[in-house]
Structure 1
Amino acid sequence: MQQFDPQVETDPLNELVSSNVPAFAKVETRSAQANIEYPLNGWLGVPTVDLTSISGYARTTTIERDIDFNFSPVPALLYTLQEPSPYEQYSQELRVSGLADSLFGLFGETEFILGAYYFDADSFNNEFIEIEDLGALAGLVLANQADNPGSGDVVPTPGLGGGIPIPPAVVDALTQIVMSPLAAEIFAAQGQNENVLLTLSQQQRSMALFGQVTTEILKDLHAIVGLRVGREDKDAYLTSTAPDGAIFIPAVIGQSNHQSSLSRSEDEVSPKLGLRYDMGRRASTYAIWARGFKSGGFNGIPLNDENLEFEPERADSYEVGFKARLLNNTLHTNIAIFHTDFENLQVSTFTGSELSVLNAAAARTRGSEADLRWLPPIRAFELDASVGYTDAYYTSYPNAPAPAFSDDSSQDLTGQTLQNAPKWSVSVLPKLLLPGFSPSWGIIVNLEALYTSERYLDVDLDPATLQDDTITYNARLSVGAVDRAWGLTVSLQNITDERVLSQVTDLAVAPGNYGAVTTTVGRSVYGALSFEF
């Protein structure tokens, strides 16, 4: 029996990883941004007008990258770059904003913003997946098969949720080779053919015009009208190529040779309507309806010609709220109630050997949120706090992916919660401001308590992906000059050493096993010293 890491353990919260290939990436990034603001007061008779230009450029090149595709100590699959992968983008926004006495002689005081946006991006990825040790992969596959008796497939739940169905003939072939006295020679010879070359070349162009006007139609009653119209074009060339002699890697990761040239063109029309009523200078209430749009696109790992594209997502949002500054301006509060209906909700889904974006049929989120800032009579003390409640669920998702342990390839999640959608979130942030030994410097003490209720971390709502409710505490001590000439900050993060998972997914090749990612790094201390001159 061959052992690759006899010390491997299954605790996802201890920040230890057992992998035969350390994750590695070498990335170069260059970026530039130019912001220009120019006053045009008096232009077209408008007393206050500003012209703003925002230009951005970025180029990122991933020079090297290695990933253990099966995330285990077994040298089964290596995912790397065939050559450097560049990504380049350019954006330009030009807008005019201002405040006028009326809207073309109608109504009262009017705020407005009008603008145009352009975005251009090009990317190229040339990636390589290879079997490092065919004998080791065979052992991993057969071990997983032994853990799932009664199924003709290595993965008992083929399809979107459970993984890739491996034909029984392939399983039988692996079994016979493993039992052969010539297993090492056969695996070494065949392993040279077991690799896949993936290519994704993409070009994206998008343009949009946008504007919003807020005008006083009656005393203290303001109408809000906004509109964004745009068009986005995407072209992609995607390929997946395995050698003619490849047998096992196509079966294990669901690969099939293809060359696909795809194009997408999408038009966006996103209106916004609302009313705001000012109750004096320190309180207002509002109601807003808006239609949102998130463009579709292409998935980045084109192993086969399925699920290469995903469709645009649209949403209708309704919100009513109240904002106020009370108690002689010592209590600032915001309260909102919201309701959003999604069509073609985009969800990140593990499809057996990769994470892909797919479309759920429909979903709804509704809830409320409130935040406040309190400045009590004790001048050295401030308190910020917030609370939010969200009920997020699918209104229609009959073909959702099923967990790996299920006998079905899909499940109906209609009426069930969305992933990463905790019902409750609460934050409390007290601040204490203390004088120093001289008027030129001072001390600030910040405390922070953050609560998040339980939530599922994968779309299939597998119980193994449920993160329990968590509460974390942080503290920060800052000492510095009043004019910010110097400052020293010491932060203590995650005081109680809470471990929180942000993602849990099935492992490629071995569904029923899981990979997890944590958002916390345990209790930690940070320090910073700054000078301004």
Structure 2
Amino acid sequence: MKLRSIFYAGTAVTALFWQTGALAQSDVAAPSEAKSQDPTHSDIIVTARKRAESLQDVPISVTALNSEMIDRQNIVKIDQVGALTPNVNLAQGGVLPTMFTAYIRGIGNRSGNVAQSSPVALSVDGVYYSTVSGTLVDVFDVSQIEVLRGPQGTLQGRNAPGGAVNVTTRRPSGEYGMRWQLSYARFDQLQARVAVEAPIVANVLAVKLSGFYNNGGAFMNNLTIGRKNGGALNNWGGRLSVLFTPSPDLTAYLTVDYMKDRSEQPPNRPRPHAGSLGSNANGSFEPSPAVCTVFGYCSEYGKYETGSNFVTPASLKNFGTSLNVDWDIGGVALSSVTGYRDVKDNLRIDADALPVTALHFVNKPQRVEQFSQELRLASDGNGPLTYVVGAYYLNYSYKFFQQLELGGPLAGLPAGTSFLSSRESQERTHSFALFGQASYKITDSWSVSGGVRQTWDRKRLVATPRSPGPSQAFKTDFKNLSIEAGTEYRLDQDKLAYVRFSQGYRSGGFNEGGAFPTINVYKPEKVDSYELGLKTEWLDRRLKLNASAFQYAYKDMQIVTLTGSVAGNINRIINAKTTRIRGVELELVAAPTDNFNIRGTVGYLDARYPNQIVDLGTGPVNLRNVQKDNTPKWTASVGTDYTIDLGSDGSELQFAADLSYKSRFATNPNPTPIAIQDKYALLNASITYKMPDDRFAISIFGQNLTDKYYKVIGESGNNFFLWDTVGRPRTYGVKLSASF
């Protein structure tokens, strides 16, 4: 049965349950943004435990940004949130311009392979995204973003041992309204957003239509084609939202969204000569890659320069729909979250980034479909016992065909020739889970909690490593039981201490990147987490200070590496037997005056592999000597905003600035110099004039104001090529916004 048909069937079943009283939910509707728009004095409401709770009352490490914070920080894409969160690294993917790579407390995934799930779960309106394609979501008309740090093995869907990023869209208000934003920035970067809403039936049915458009922003000087490319956006999309509230106890929220993307490849810069890179941490020297020794391209490129001769844009069509039903039936709440996504993309990228055909992804069309259904039953929270129990089902499938063009000298053919290598694969996953979590108040100050989730995963693969050629079928099954337990104690009304033990699980899968001997099953990964936390408010809530300390014991962590061959570079997925991670986090929000706010975060992370020998694609390596990728020892941020009231009419002038810092870290698991990024800091700032009632506003903003040159990803390609993906240089622009 087609997944689209399954979605319609699931929607019909949900509608039937409305009438029979078999399902609903009230506790987890859209989180309230705040009691006021002041981010310091207000309570930010989060749904980290599948019920609406104040951020300061949740015994979990959570960073939440409401719509005002998102707008003030000039956040456009989801990856920008990482700079404001301790021990979190979010970035655009180095291969797919429509994906983001997420690392939380050192746990993450840099692979663009649709066969492998990310250990950081991304959900939009409660619907879990099963694929990395299309995860670099636009955050316009979003009410809140929550970043949950630590394993979320019981409640946050599947595959969340690292944590979760939950996005909640802004629901129709039931009134007539319109919002729009228009910005123009350096490198001819144009961004436009609009949202229009209206009531259809007063207090019963309301609709909203929102859309966005992004174009421009290329900042790499391509010396081969004579123009800038790399880093540019070319996409548009929209969302239709329908809110149905036939009674105060019943709410149904339906969204339908679509995005089309024709962005060029990420800003990849070739590093064809290894001699200037020095040696790695072990003292070994990185040899020159094949693009230098075989093709003769050995000259170093300058900052923000590339030489790509293949700049055909990738393409993406991302369609999705979700239905959230919330029903309070007195004493308990019933909920349903039904989701369907259909993602079609075609990756085209110059993997060597040089004016030579060494390795080009000339064509990689793929399609991903998923249908998910989650049902939950929750208590109303009025008694000493609160609970959430539920079931989750996912049907996920992908199919792709990959065609690579490789330079002839790589296979002993004459210079100037090339040949094509193709493969195709299709896989289907069925996942089912039962879960529950409960908390019991022993006294007014002391509570204990626990949770459990049982997961069953079934995967079926048909692969053709050499197309045309013989195919072979593979199948495997996994199951896991994850638990959570903790206790919390309220020292007083404004101070909460907690201890939490939690487990996380990421499904195993097929390493289907090459010939049949390389198609093996890699193991699931599991983590045991121990965390001690403190959430406090001081000085009549003008100062909030939260702290946590944690330690992870990781088993069978999945490591993605590259292996070079005449068939092209192949993603290899191996398991590290054990990994140990520990760290500390601090978050501060202060309001010295009503018009002056200060924010700060500090994260310390110590991630190490114990003694073990593995092959990372370049031969046996002792992981004890390898720096865990994307785990800077120190991360920090500090931000401030100051508002000046300009008169009795309500107009105001706001100054805002944010500084984020990362210490030295490796961008991929291979112990090579190209992977290392030294410590750096980024400074962003803005000045905004707001007219009375926030009807109109104009902002002048700047990002990376010190013009820091830094890399996001450094890739060795098993000595076939060297390239890095660099961050955007100094950018400045102007933004106009209006609200009616």
TM-score range with shorter-chain normalisation? 0.7 to 0.9
2:574 to 358, 373, 376: 358
- Confirm or deny: 8 A CA contact 2:641 2:656 kept in the other structure: yes
1:140-197 deviations in Å (ceiling 9; x for gaps): x4xxxxxxxxxxxxxxxxxxxxxxxxxxxx75xx5xx67xxxxx8xx6xxx6xx4322
Q: How does 1:13-28 map to 2 (within 5 A)?
A: 14-28=303-317
Structure 1 match to 2:483? 271
- Confirm or deny: 8 A CA contact 1:239 1:302 kept in the other structure: no
Q: The residue matched to 2:674 in structure 1 has which SS?
A: helix
Structure 2 match to 1:236? 461
Give the drift of 1:440. 3.1
Q: 1:78 to 1:514 in 2, by over 3 A?
A: closer
Give the drift of 1:333. 0.8
1:185-226 deviations in Å (ceiling 9; x for gaps): xx6xxx6xx432211111111121222111112341100111
In structure 2, distance between residues paired with 1:59 and 1:274: 38
Q: How does 1:92-131 map to 2 (within 5 A)?
A: 92-102=373-383, 109-131=384-406
Give the drift of 1:477. 2.5
Percent identical residues:
24
AA aligned to 1:93 is E
Does residue 390 in structure 1 map to residue 679 in structure 2? no
Structure 2 match to 1:60? 343
Specify every segment of 5 or more residues in structure 2 that has no aligned partner in the other structure, as ranges. 1-291
Structure 1 match to 2:698? 488
Q: How does 1:254-293 map to 2 (within 5 A)?
A: 259-293=471-505
Q: 1:375 to 1:300 in 2, by over 3 A?
A: farther
AA aligned to 1:424 is W
Give the drift of 1:120. 1.4
1:78-110 deviations in Å (ceiling 9; x for gaps): 32337x4221112222223333454xxxxxx22
Structure 2 match to 1:297? 509
AA aligned to 1:328 is D
In structure 2, distance between residues paired with 1:478 and 1:369: 31
In structure 1, distance between residues paired with 2:482 and 2:475: 23
In structure 2, distance between residues paired with 1:22 and 1:318: 47
In structure 2, distance between residues paired with 1:123 and 1:91: 15
- Confirm or deny: 8 A CA contact 2:423 2:467 kept in the other structure: no
Q: The residue matched to 1:204 in structure 2 has which SS?
A: strand
- Confirm or deny: 8 A CA contact 1:258 1:304 kept in the other structure: no
In structure 2, distance between residues paired with 1:435 and 1:8: 59
AA aligned to 1:116 is A
Structure 1 match to 2:666? 456
Structure 2 match to 1:524? 731
Q: The residue matched to 1:119 in structure 2 has which SS?
A: strand
AA aligned to 2:400 is N
Give the drift of 1:6. 10
- Confirm or deny: 8 A CA contact 1:361 1:396 kept in the other structure: no
Structure 2 match to 1:153? none
Q: 1:488 to 1:305 in 2, by over 3 A?
A: farther
1:470 to 642, 655, 680: 680
Where in structure 1 do 4 or more consecutive aligned residues deviate above 6 Å?
A: 3-8
Give the drift of 1:323. 1.0
- Confirm or deny: 8 A CA contact 2:514 2:570 kept in the other structure: no
In structure 2, distance between residues paired with 1:52 and 1:73: 55
Give the drift of 1:23. 4.6
- Confirm or deny: 8 A CA contact 2:674 2:724 kept in the other structure: no
Q: 1:398 to 1:449 in 2, by over 3 A?
A: same
Computing the radius of gyration from Cα coordinates, the structure with the larger value is 1
Q: 1:77 to 1:303 in 2, by over 3 A?
A: farther
Does residue 432 in structure 1 map to residue 642 in structure 2? yes
Higher mean C-alpha displacement, 19-28 vs 327-336? 19-28
Does residue 33 in structure 1 map to residue 325 in structure 2? no
TM (norm. structure 1) is 0.77
1:75 to 336, 354, 357: 357
2:526 to 308, 314, 323: 314
Structure 1 match to 2:180? none
RMSD value, Cα: 2.7
Equivalent pairs counted in the alignment come to 444
AA aligned to 1:433 is T
Q: 1:303 to 1:478 in 2, by over 3 A?
A: farther
1:10 to 288, 291, 300: 300
- Confirm or deny: 8 A CA contact 1:322 1:335 kept in the other structure: yes
Give the drift of 1:361. 1.4
Give the drift of 1:418. 0.7
In structure 1, distance between residues paired with 2:625 and 2:442: 42
In structure 2, distance between residues paired with 1:59 and 1:526: 35
2:656 to 407, 424, 446: 446
Q: The residue matched to 1:399 in structure 2 has which SS?
A: strand
Structure 2 match to 1:380? 595
- Confirm or deny: 8 A CA contact 1:453 1:468 kept in the other structure: yes
Q: The residue matched to 2:709 in structure 1 has which SS?
A: coil
- Confirm or deny: 8 A CA contact 1:362 1:394 kept in the other structure: yes
Q: 1:506 to 1:415 in 2, by over 3 A?
A: closer
In structure 2, distance between residues paired with 1:93 and 1:350: 36
Does residue 334 in structure 1 map to residue 546 in structure 2? yes
In structure 2, distance between residues paired with 1:128 and 1:415: 36
In structure 1, distance between residues paired with 2:527 and 2:587: 25
In structure 2, distance between residues paired with 1:415 and 1:218: 49
- Confirm or deny: 8 A CA contact 1:394 1:414 kept in the other structure: yes
In structure 1, distance between residues paired with 2:297 and 2:538: 60
In structure 2, distance between residues paired with 1:485 and 1:74: 53
In structure 2, distance between residues paired with 1:528 and 1:116: 44
Give the drift of 1:500. 1.9
In structure 2, distance between residues paired with 1:231 and 1:528: 48
1:115-152 deviations in Å (ceiling 9; x for gaps): 22221122110122234x63xxx2xx4xxxxxxxxxxx
Give the drift of 1:268. 2.0
- Confirm or deny: 8 A CA contact 1:15 1:521 kept in the other structure: no
AA aligned to 1:57 is Y
In structure 2, distance between residues paired with 1:390 and 1:507: 27
In structure 1, distance between residues paired with 2:474 and 2:338: 29
In structure 1, distance between residues paired with 2:359 and 2:656: 47
In structure 2, distance between residues paired with 1:383 and 1:65: 42
1:220-275 deviations in Å (ceiling 9; x for gaps): 110011111121111111112267xxxxxxxxxxxxx6633111211121100001
2:628 to 406, 410, 418: 418
In structure 1, distance between residues paired with 2:729 and 2:534: 38
Q: 1:464 to 1:38 in 2, by over 3 A?
A: same
Q: How does 1:219-234 map to 2 (within 5 A)?
A: 219-234=444-459
Q: 1:11 to 1:450 in 2, by over 3 A?
A: farther
Does residue 205 in structure 1 map to residue 417 in structure 2? no
